[in-house]
Amino acid sequence: MTERNEWAEFFNGHAPVYMDNSFTKNTVQEVDFVLQELSLPKHSHILDTGCGTGRHAIELAKRGYRVTGVDISSGMLAEAEKAAREAEVKITWVHADAARFSSTYLFDAGICLCEGAFGLLGKDDDPFEHDINILRNIGSVLKPGARLISTTLNGCRMIRQFSQEDVIKGQFNPVTMVETSEMEYNTPEGQKSVLLRERGYVPTELVMLFRLAGLEVEHIGGGTAGNWGRRPLDLDEMEVMVIARKAANAA
């Protein structure tokens, strides 16, 4: 597979230091929450979309679950493989674009956490197609009745945070809810920068999008890293959480 977008480029460079980010420090509690919500027997098979360095996948595997992790960045997957080896757990890693991922295998549950692919747009991605494609792809590989837990950028915060000036200078587009910013990152060859596009969602839109993908929302609320739980969305927080379920009678 060719690594076709700027996020892959960014995360390839960022991968060696990704686990230094403060938002990665709550993995154990996050997995406690995920397992409580999924309520699955041990050995169930969980799909982790946009798995990154595999922090959730590895913690789930340590607790006796089978996990497949999908990511567009070979650099992130290389870190994930290394960490899984160190933790002595076996995980299937798939190098793929979640917007194009398909499988005939059906999973018992899915996770797509901390903007794991969802909302991270490449330069040429259509903001109205990219994420519905990801959701449809995930939905298509879940067993009927299986749950998906996702956290993504909170569009309410974007609307409250960006100014009219940001709109005029093209940093925030209120039509597409896309923020465009230059991100700098270090590589062994020196500092690089890349123009990144991130899309935020208001909860109403998420409910509709998940429904269109055949996933009925059971809970939607606050989901910022470090503060997970079933609670209402704080309008100014970073991330929103969706817990959804594929219909039990879905084909």
Q: Of 130 and 245, which CB lies nearer to ligand SAM in the complex structure?
A: 130
Q: Is 38 in the site for ligand SAM (CB under 6 A)?
A: no
What are the residues whose beta carbons fall under 8 Å from the beta carbon of 94, sequence distance 6 or more? Answer: 68, 69, 70, 71, 101
β 92-95/190-199 pair status: unpaired
Buried b (16+ CB within 10 A) or exposed e, 16-33: bebeeeeebebbeebbeb
Min separation Cβ 104 and ligand SAM, Å:
19
Q: Is 117 in the site for ligand SAM (CB under 6 A)?
A: yes
Q: Is 120 in the site for ligand SAM (CB under 6 A)?
A: yes
Min separation Cβ 78 and ligand SAM, Å:
11
Q: Of 60 and 233, which CB lies nearer to ligand SAM in the complex structure?
A: 60
H or E stretch including 35? helix 27-38
Q: Is 245 in the site for ligand SAM (CB under 6 A)?
A: no
Q: Of 55 and 147, which CB lies nearer to ligand SAM in the complex structure?
A: 55
C-beta nearest to ligand SAM: residue? 52
State whether residue 25 is helix, strand or coil.
Answer: coil
Query: Looking at 37, 38, 47, 116, which residue binds ligand SAM (CB under 6 A)?
Result: 116
Q: Is 46 in the site for ligand SAM (CB under 6 A)?
A: no
**Burial label, 228 (beta-carbon count in 10 A; 0-12, 13-18, 19+):** buried
| Site track 53-82 with ligand SAM (rule: CB under 6 A), x = hit | --xx-------------xxxx--x------
Query: Looking at 38, 51, 109, 153, which residue binds ligand SAM (CB under 6 A)?
Result: 51
H or E stretch including 183? strand 178-187
**Segment contacting ligand SAM by CB under 6 A, of 33-41, 49-57, 174-182, 214-222:** 49-57
Contact 153, 117 (CB under 8 A): no
Contact 94, 68 (CB under 8 A): yes
State whether residue 170 is helix, strand or coil.
Answer: coil
Min separation Cβ 133 and ligand SAM, Å:
9
Q: For the segment 199-228, give every residue that binds ligand SAM (CB under 6 A).
A: none
Q: What are the backbone angles phi and psi of residue 191, rounded to the nearest 5°?
A: -80, 135
Min separation Cβ 248 and ligand SAM, Å:
27
Task: Work out the number of other CB atoms within 10 angstroms of the CB of residue 3.
Answer: 16
End-to-end CA distance of the chain: 29
Q: Of 47 and 99, which CB lies nearer to ligand SAM in the complex structure?
A: 99
Rg (CA), the chain: 17
Sequence letter at residue 114: C
Query: Looking at 13, 50, 110, 203, which residue binds ligand SAM (CB under 6 A)?
Result: 50
Query: Where along the sequence are the contacts to ligand SAM (CB under 6 A)?
Result: 7-8, 11, 24, 50-52, 55-56, 70-73, 76, 97-99, 113-117, 120
